[in-house]
Amino acid sequence: MSGEWGRCRMSGEWGRASFRVSRLSQHLAAVPLAAGPARRFEGQVCVITGGARGIGRAIAERLCLEGARAMCLFDVGDSTEAVGALQKAFPSAKVLAKKLDLTEEPAVMKAVAEVVKEFGRVDVLVQAAGITGKTGIKTHEVDTADFDRVFSVNVKGIFLCAKAVLPSMLESGYGRIVNIASISGKDGNAGMLAYSASKAAVINLTKVIGKDYVNNGKDITVNCIAPAVVQTAMVDAMPKEQVKYMTDKIPMGRTGRLDEVASTVAFVASQECSFTTGFCFDATGGRSVY
């Protein structure tokens, strides 16, 4: 939440008109690239799960580029390299990492409480942490423990982080939550039972959370994105035939790029995305038909 929005919220009709003008000018400033990147996250406090690498890291870069005041990476992996690179590229932002397993509720609550204590609130939560589990196998070959772990990270992890940040968003009156689902959650990719089903759960969980906080006098929206294949370490670790199966389904005939996903997320995570909640945005090169 920018200070400007905070001031406008408190000062009635004048504030609303002023905020509309300010938002319009921000929007116009975003159009000509020669004018530099938009600054849609100026002064905002952002938490990105899975920010150590891949899609999460690309989103963190984009939000910093657009002025984030604080960038907090939550990841079970080592975020040292990502933090160093972000801090170097964006010295005016405060970049930090919390190393935690998002399936553990006390750890999630503690990490979010520390962020709120240090920065006062959380404006944006992007949930990119996720695992595929074993893929390229038929349903009767799925290991039950693997199924449980995929659901624990991909679904319970998203629920826990949302649960942890929502009180801060309710208190400040502003918040954006963006969950990274997958086209497999709509279509159901053969060979990926646990992953596809968990991503369907992410899409539905997003719809419920969106509806839970709609029309309550606060500007809180909760949406998700369903990307098709983006070449990351996660995809590199999958069987080649599984990746070919998924890539062959993309009508544009290519995989998505990190910057394309980050760009879509940046819109959904910004104040500009103010009339859409509980929705699943597409990033599939034409694969998704609904």
Residues near ligand NAD (CB under 6 A): 50, 52-56, 75-77, 101-103, 128-131, 153, 157, 180, 182, 227, 229-230, 232-235
DSSP for 162-203 reads: HHHHHHHHHHHTEEEEEEE--THHHH--TT-HHHHHHHHHHH
Smallest distance from the beta carbon of 187 to ligand NAD, in angstroms?
A: 12
Of the pair 29, 235, the CB lying nearest ligand NAD is at 235
Smallest distance from the beta carbon of 17 to ligand NAD, in angstroms?
A: 39
Per the residue annotation, which of 195, 213, 245, 290 is the catalytic one? 195
- The whole-angstrom separation of Cα 163 and Cα 218 is 17
- The whole-angstrom separation of Cα 166 and Cα 261 is 24
Query: Is residue 195 annotated as a catalytic residue, yes or no?
Result: yes
Of the pair 93, 183, the CB lying nearest ligand NAD is at 183
DSSP for 58-106 reads: HHHHHHHHTT-SEEEEEESS--HHHHHHHHHH-TTSEEEEEE--TT-HH
Smallest distance from the beta carbon of 194 to ligand NAD, in angstroms?
A: 11
Cβ neighbours of 80 (radius 10 Å): 11
Smallest distance from the beta carbon of 19 to ligand NAD, in angstroms?
A: 33
Q: Are 86 and 65 in contact (CB under 8 A)?
A: no
Smallest distance from the beta carbon of 1 to ligand NAD, in angstroms?
A: 25
Here the contacts of 25-34 (C-beta below 8 Å, separation 24 or greater) are 26/271, 26/272, 27/272
Of the pair 103, 221, the CB lying nearest ligand NAD is at 103
Of the pair 172, 255, the CB lying nearest ligand NAD is at 255
- The whole-angstrom separation of Cα 25 and Cα 30 is 9
Give the CA count within 13 Å in the CB-facing half-sphere of 160.
24
Of the pair 5, 151, the CB lying nearest ligand NAD is at 151
Of the pair 278, 285, the CB lying nearest ligand NAD is at 285
Smallest distance from the beta carbon of 140 to ligand NAD, in angstroms?
A: 23
Where does 130-271 have alpha helices with state H?
A: 144-151, 157-172, 184-187, 193-212, 233-236, 240-247, 258-268
Catalytic residues: 195
